[in-house]
Structure formats: structure tokens, C-alpha cells
Structure 1
Amino acid sequence: MRVLGIELRRSAAPVLGGLVVVLLLGLLFWLPPAGKGSTAWTRQWWSMAEWVRYALVFAWPLTAGAGAVQGLRDRRSGVEELFASTPRPRAQRAARTLAALAVALLVAYLVVVVVGGVQVAAKAGHLGLGWVPVALVGLLSLVAAAWLGMGVGRLLPSPLTPPLLAVGAMALMVVAEAAGDEGYPFVLLRPSATRPGSVFAHTAGSVSAGQALWFGGMAVAGVLLFALRRWWSGVLPLLAGAALALPLLPTTSAEATAADPAAAELACADGLCLTRAHERERAALAGPAREALALLSKLPAPPAEVRELPNPVRPEPRGPEPTDTVWLDLDDLVYFRSTPLPAIRITELLVEGAGTRECNARDGFPDREVVARAVTTAWLTGHLTPLRNYLGEEDPELNPLAQQALTTLNARPAADQRAHVEAARQSLAACTGTAWTALTGEPA
């Protein structure tokens, strides 16, 4: 241990470990998608592991280049021939340097996981341990990058080796990321994972198994290159790792993810059904859900519960949905924000469109469908929320139209009002595009 401590101090290992921590945490806190939505890296264990892996797209090339710098140390110091003349086996000397880099990367990776894990522990409703292999493969890939870099640096002792290796690794990562389904299963040989798309679907076990074999072969190749300095000693483990890994890896992006039934399991209480993944949100959502159901009870056939949609994949646009339930997608609700939504705003969002979800939240509706949703919401809540354009300003065309439609609706007899709002709700739930006509009797 004393010798390992000396090697840690005299090698580039501590500097590399610090750079990895700064780079990974900087990316995770700086990248907007990593901190937003239900898949934010500080909200779920799976998402945390996958976002850390995603950030390796930058940390992995850096680690490979730093490993090459370490591999050049003896040549730069002018002691290569001196060490070669000593009776101590080269493999024994190499083991200490390799171990120092591995320890530094292990500590760095654990620091990042702990920083995320402390925040996840206070928010996640579903623990599970399936995310652990994803995290371990990420650590293995970093160690493999450092060791391979050391081997290449010792085999090609040129000052150009570290930057060229880092740039080449980054270029391969970009090419693999851009390849899409056409590049499967080879794109899964990259160390970075795709960004999480759902808390109910995660990296498949076959992906982690295949990547572990691949990066294990890469690590062995780096050790042999560093200790033996023969190019063929590194090629053989790489070929063996690829040969073992590729048959295990999926051939499409759809097969690379697997549903998580435990996270999607529903728990219902007091008219609110939430998944285990979001069970901790019950305290904040229970009151607004009750209030929303009370408002919707004005309809002829009101919904009986608010139920979360545990969709592994969120289709755009959505299909028809039954009206006996208020279907809840917390991401569509813009619920996961740095500043929590007030309870009254959550209630308004739940009753929006008379308790229906937008057919295509990303691309928007035709104008009159937007107005129909706003008017049905206003009829239930008693006030009309101003419609805004893409600049965040009140829309000068849609707001007068919505106010006129609401005034006309309120002038009808109470029974007719309920019938028109119910007809509009059925249209909005079915995504037929006829809600405006059902609400006002006018063509869209």
C-alpha cells in the first residue's frame, strides 16, 4: 500500500481523477436535459446512472488521452533504459501505475455517483438495483480507456500520441452517436449511453453484459500493451472482447431498452393512482387531484380517478383515451421543475381540456382546438386563463375568440352547457379535431 500511495502521488492519477469529477459534474449540472423532467439525473437511480454514462462522451476521450500521457512518463523522464536494466519484472512495475490510475478513477466515479445519489435518495419512490450494472460498466469503461491510453502511449512514445488519441476517441464517439439504428450493434460498443427517455424503460441487461465483455477486453489490451510493448498483444484481447460482446448486443435501439414493470406498478388511494417511480409525489398531488375530480363532477359523466400513465415510450401524437379517468403524464404536466408548481396550478392543469391531455403537446393544435381546451377549462374553474403565443405574450387573436365562446356558452341553459362541454371533452379525448364544433356548434 505504501508503494501504491507513492505511485498515486507521483503519477498523473490524482489530476486525472479531479478532472473527471469536475467534467462529469459540470456536464450533469450544466446540460439542461439532465436536470429537467422526471428523468433528471437527481430524481431516479436509473436516470442518474444513465446520465453519468451519457456524460462519458466527453470524459472518456479525456481519460484515454491522460492515460497516454502517463504511458509516456518513463520516456519523458529519460529513465526507460535504466528501469529496463533492473531485475524487477516489468509487469510488477506496470501493475502499480495501472492500479494508481484505476484507484483514482474509481474514487472520481464514486464521488459523482454519491453526489447524485444523495439527491436521488430524497426524491426517488422506487429504488431497485438494476442500475448498478450500468454504473459499473461506466466505471470499467473509464479504467479501460486509461489503461489502453497508457499502452498506446508506451507503444508509440510521441508527444503527439495523447492529443491524437483523445481526438480520435472523440471522433469515434460522435460517429457512433450519429449512426443511429444503422450502426447497431456496433454503436453499443461506445462507453456513453443514450440519454434517458423514460423512468419506465431502461438499458437492457444484454447491453450491460456485452459492454462489460468489450471493455474488459479493452482493459486487458491496455495492460498487455503497457507491460509488453507488442502491438499484437493488444489486438488479440480487443478482438476477443468484440467477438464475445457483439452476439449479446441488440441490433436495434428498441431492443437496447427494457421496460421496468416494478417502476410502472400502480398504487391507488383516494382517487389518485401513481406509479412506484413517482410514489413520493403523492403528498403534493393528492390535494389537487381531489379538487380536480370535484370540479369535473359538474359533467354528466365525470371521471372517477386520476391515473398516471406509465408509458415506457411516449408516442407523439397520442391516440384516443377513455374519459372515465383523468390520464396523467407528469412530464406533460410540466410538473418536474426547479420551482414546484402551486397546488392551484396543478389543479388547473389536471382539469385542462375538461380533464383530457393534449393530442400533440410538442407540435400544438389548430388554433380553435386550443381555444376549445381553454374554454372547457374556464367553464369548470370559473375563470379564463389568458392564452399566450410562443413569445409568452397574451395572444391578441385567440383570447377575444375564447372570451366570446365562453360568454356564448355561459348564456345557454345549464343543461345545454354541460352537454356541450361533455361533447367537447369526448372529442378532445378521442383526438378527432372537432372539439370547437362540439362546443360552439360552429364549423372549425
Structure 2
Amino acid sequence: MTGLRIELRRSTALWAGLLVLVSGTGMLWLITSESARWTGNSTSAVLELRLPLAYVWALVVGLAVLQGMRDSRARVTELFTATSRPGWVRLGTLAAAVAGAVAVATALLCAGLVAKVALGGGFVSAGFVPLMVTVVLALASSVLLGLAVGRLLPHPLTVPVALVATFMVASTAGRALEARSPGDEISRFALLTPVLAPPSTDLVTMSTSVDLGQIVWFTGLGVTGFLLFVSRTHLGRLAALAPAGLAIAAALAIMPVKYSDVLVADSIASRLVCDGEVCVSKAHEDRLPAVTAAGRAALAELAVLPDAPKEVREDTAAMAHLTAPQRDQRIVYVPSLGIPRPMTMTEDQLRLELLAGAGVASCEGPNTFDTYGGVVRYVTAGYFHGELAELASEPLMWNNSRLRGEIDEAWRQFRGHSAQEQLNRVAQVRRMLLACEDSERVLGVLKAA
């Protein structure tokens, strides 16, 4: 323990730990907006840390490489080789100090995020633990590898090259893990980095296969880094590569290929909590009273339709950020995405959202704009509400004079029909939306003379 305390004082261990805390916190602060979702779920909070890791990871590796060059820079390599004390003991103490400080700092950073969620009244569960373990292992093993690189390649350019190379690997991996649809194939090699751009929903987490694969890989990488750092012979250094080789083979066999198998629904946070016919996720249980009031009011108004829906549920699909909202004849789904999020709307705003489309969400995916579909949503919501009113999810259409004119014109033509005809047309529109038919044709049904 005496040697460890000495290394903590004379090495960069404490500085490395401080670097993790300061840079990690700073990057999160820079990329976080007031509407950030991770503040409401501990699992999402730790998952959000994967984004700034592209920078933190590179800085930590660069500092570890610099520390690994200590003996060479001080020109005491031969002196320590001649001492009776085994070299691996002294070097192992240094490795334990630096990697341990980084591991503790990373764990504290994760714990701080969880504490922020808890103090803010968010949802806290054990789902964040595997993500935290993976991040801690990733940075600690990278430190060990960085120490080995610094000791084996004591050149002035080694530190900047290692820093830039790590950042480039992280950036490339982040791009390789981007997907436009759930079925897209991703690079399993990219999953060997701790970097991932988290989705905009707070109801997902990394799959067990990704967590397990990364834990295996980073453990093997750490063992290889340590053995390379303490080995003195070429044969020993060659043998030290075996753990990383076995780990990468095992990890790649475990890792998924499709993006839909990388991010999955958080089984704890997305579990439904119900009040009669209205259900929301466990993570959003605090919104259940408001959603229940709005949902029951919407169901009562939709009851005039043939085969009217009987339930209201929050859409907890893991791939909601890439696909159109779910649809079911018996269920009115509350979308999990949008600005503002439907789950945070007032009771009246949410009721109108549920009535829009006659209880059926848009067939368009997130971050898309469909003028015809927007007009259909406004007219159908107006039918049940008795008059046109602004939809919180479609403020652009309501406040734009040209688009507002299209809404008013469609509403005028629709209201020109008899009450029974209006009901028949809305019922037909509902059937068409359930089948995801072309939105221009759907609008034509509402407007046709």
C-alpha cells in the first residue's frame, strides 16, 4: 500500500482521474440541452456518457502514454533493470495507481449522473449498472494499453499520435454505428469501442450481447496492456498479445450485426404501468394521472367510430426513433418522440394529439414533414373537438399562413358535408391510416365533394 500511495503522489494518476471527471462533466454540459431526456432515467444518463467518451477516451489514452514514458524520459530504465526488486512489482504498482484512479473517477462520474437523475425526481433502476461497468472497464483497460505503448515506444511523437489515433478510432466507430432503419447492419468492430451516439428516447438500453461482448473485449485488452507494460522480453511481449486476441475473437462472436439488436427496450423502464385502460411506461409513471385523464376523454370521443379503440398506451418501441409510431385498431398509442414530447404535454394538448388522425398516429417516421398528413391530423382532431385548434406537435403548420390556409380550406370542404357523411369519412380515414395508405389520398377522402 505504501508503494501505491507513493505512485498516486508522484505519477499522473490523480491528474488522470481529475481529467476524466472534468472533461466528462464539461462535455456533457456542452452537449446537453434543457430538453435532454437522459435527466429522467438513470440508464439513459449513463448511456448518454458514451457520446463525450470520444473526447475523454482520447485524452486519457494520451496521458497514459505520457506516463508510460516516465522511465525513459528520466533515463533510469537501465538503473531499475539492475535492481533486485522485480520490475513487474514496481510497474504493476504504477499501473494499478493510474488505471485505478481512472476507474474510480469514471465510476464517480457515472454515480454523479445517477444522483442527478434521482435528485431531479427521475427514474432510477439497476439498468445502468452494466453500462457503468463497461465504461469503467473501457477507460481502465485503455489506460493500461496506453502505459504499455508509452513504455515500448518512448518517442516525442508517440503521445500526440496516440491521442489523435484514439480520437479518430472513436469518431470512425461513431459513424459506423449510425443507422437509418432498424434492419441496417452495423460494424461489429465499431462495437469494440465505448463510443455510441445515444437515441433520443429514454426507454432503451444496450443489449445484453453488446454489454457482454464489450466486457469480454475490454477485460482482455486490459490484461494484454498490463502484460505488455511489465514484460521485459520479446517473447513475453508476444505472449502478452494472446489475451486480447482471444478476447476480440470471443467478443466478435457475441456482438450483434443488426442495429435493432444493439439498442433494445429497457425491460425495467419500458414496463407498462396501467390505470384501467390507460398505460404508460414505468419511467414515466409520474405522468400517469394526466395521461389517464386525457386518454379517457379521447376514448370517449372516439367511441362514435365503428370498431372504436378501447385502450391508450405509451409507445415504448425500442426503434421508435427510426420507425413510424405503432398502430393498432384497438389501441391509441401515445408517441414517445416529438417536440414537445407528448408525455410532457398538458391534458388538453395530449387529448387533441390522441384525437388527431382519429386515434391513429402518422405513418411518417421521426424528423419528417408531411403536409398532407398534417392537414389530415388537424381536420380529424377538429372534428372531435368541434373546431380547429392548434396541435402542440404541429405548431409550424398552425402558424404558417400558407399551411394554415390549406388547413382552413380542407376544414371548410369537410364541414360542407352532412354530420353522418363527416362521421363516415373520418371512419374511412381511420381505416386508411391504420393501413398507412398515401396521405394525399387520405386527405382527398376528407375534402372530396
TM bin, normalised by shorter chain, reads: 0.7 to 0.9
Q: Could you give the per-residue CA deviations for residues 175-199 of structure 1, whole angstroms, max 9, x where no partner exists?
A: 3334457764322222324524655
For the pair 1:20 / 2:20, whether they are aligned, the reply is yes
Q: Is the 8 A contact 1:320 1:429 kept in 2?
A: no
- In 2 relative to 1, CA 438–142 (structure 1 residues): closer, same or farther, beyond 3 Å? same
CA contact (8 A) 1:319 1:431 kept: no
Q: CA deviation at 1:438?
A: 2.3
Q: Distance in 2 between matches of 1:204 and 1:264?
A: 14
Distance in 2 (alpha carbons) for counterparts of 1:97 and 1:283: 56
- Aligned mates of 1:198, 1:368 — CA distance in 2: 26
1:198-217 to structure 2, matched below 5 A, reads: 199=202, 201-217=204-220
8 Å contact from structure 1 (residues 124, 280) kept in 2: no
Q: How many pairs does the alignment contain?
A: 436
Q: 1:99 to 1:320 in 2, by over 3 A?
A: closer
CA distance in structure 2 between the aligned counterparts of 1:193 and 1:295, rounded to whole angstroms: 43
Deviations 1:343-380 (A, max 9, x none): 32222222222322111043656534322221221222
TM-superposed deviation, 1:49: 2.9
Distance 1:304 1:123, change over 3 A: farther
Are 1:96 and 2:101 counterparts?
no
Aligned counterpart, 1:401: 406
Displacement of 1:330 in angstroms is: 2.2
Aligned equivalents of 1:178, 1:208: Cα separation in 2: 20
Deviation at 1:402, TM superposition (A): 2.1
Give the secondary-structure state (helix, strand or coil) at the position aligned to 2:356.
helix
Question: Equivalent residue for 1:275?
Answer: 281
Q: 1:4-403 maps to which residues of 2 (within 5 A)?
A: 4-31=4-31, 40-121=37-118, 123-125=121-123, 127=125, 129-179=126-176, 184-193=187-196, 195-196=198-199, 199=202, 201-230=204-233, 231-297=237-303, 299=305, 302-314=308-320, 318=324, 321-332=327-338, 334-335=340-341, 340-362=344-366, 364=368, 367-385=371-389, 394-403=399-408
- Structure 1 residue runs of 5 or longer lacking an equivalent are none
Unmatched runs of 5 consecutive residues or more in structure 2: 178-183
Quick one: distance in 2 between partners of 1:105 and 1:224? 19
Answering whether residue 419 of structure 2 is matched by residue 419 of structure 1, we say: no
**C-alpha RMSD of matched pairs (Å):** 3.2
Contact preservation (8 Å) 2:381, 2:388: yes
Instruction: Report % sequence identity.
Output: 31
Give how far 1:68 is off: 0.7
- Normalising by the residue count of structure 1, what TM-score does the alignment of the two structures yield? 0.85
2: CA distance, partners of 1:441 / 1:392 = 22
Residues 346 and 255 of structure 1: CA distance in aligned 2, closer, same or farther (over 3 Å): closer
CA distance in 1, matches of 2:7, 2:206: 37
Q: Which TM-score applies when normalising by structure 2?
A: 0.84
Distance 1:409 1:288, change over 3 A: same
State the one-letter code of the partner of 1:203: M
Q: Which consecutive segments of 4 or more residues in structure 1 shift more than 6 A?
A: 387-393
* Cα offset, 1:146, TM superposition: 0.8
Shift, 1:136, TM fit = 0.7
Partner residue, 1:436:
443
Q: Does the C-alpha gap of structure 1 residues 394 and 164 become closer, same or farther in structure 2, counting only changes over 3 Å?
A: same
Preserved CA contact (<8 Å) 1:306 1:326: yes
239 and 410 in structure 1: CA distance in 2 versus 1, 3 angstrom threshold: closer
Please identify, of 398-407 and 111-120, the stretch whose mean Cα deviation from structure 2 is larger. Answer: 398-407
Distance 2:326 2:115 in 1: 40
Tell me how far 1:46 sits from its aligned partner: 2.9
Deviates most, 183-192 or 132-141: 183-192
Cα distance in 1 for partners of 2:262, 2:326 equals 28
- Given that 2:220 and 2:247 are in contact with CA atoms closer than 8 Å, whether structure 1 keeps it comes out as yes
Q: Hey, what's the Cα distance between the residues in 2 that align with 1:374 and 1:250?
A: 42
Q: Which amino acid in structure 2 is aligned with residue 360 of structure 1? A: E
Distance 2:278 2:427 in 1: 22
253-262 or 170-179: which moved more?
253-262
Q: Is the 8 A contact 2:53 2:194 kept in 1?
A: yes
In the alignment, is the contact (CA less than 8 A) between 1:144 and 1:219 conserved in 2?
Answer: yes
Matched to 1:206, the amino acid is S
CA displacement 1:232-264 (0-9 Å, x = unmatched): 254333223323333333344344445555544
**Aligned mates of 1:353, 1:259 — CA distance in 2:** 26
CA contact (8 A) 2:358 2:381 kept: yes
Separation in 2 of the partners of 1:415 and 1:29? 55
State the AA in 2 paired with 1:441. A
1:317 is displaced (CA, Å) by 5.7
Cα 1:240–1:317 change in 2 (3 A) is: closer
CA–CA separation in structure 2 for the residues paired with 1:363 and 1:183: 22
Q: How much has 1:275 moved relative to structure 2?
A: 2.7
Which amino acid is the alignment partner of residue 344 of structure 1? D
8 Å Cα contact 1:185/1:252 also seen in 2: no
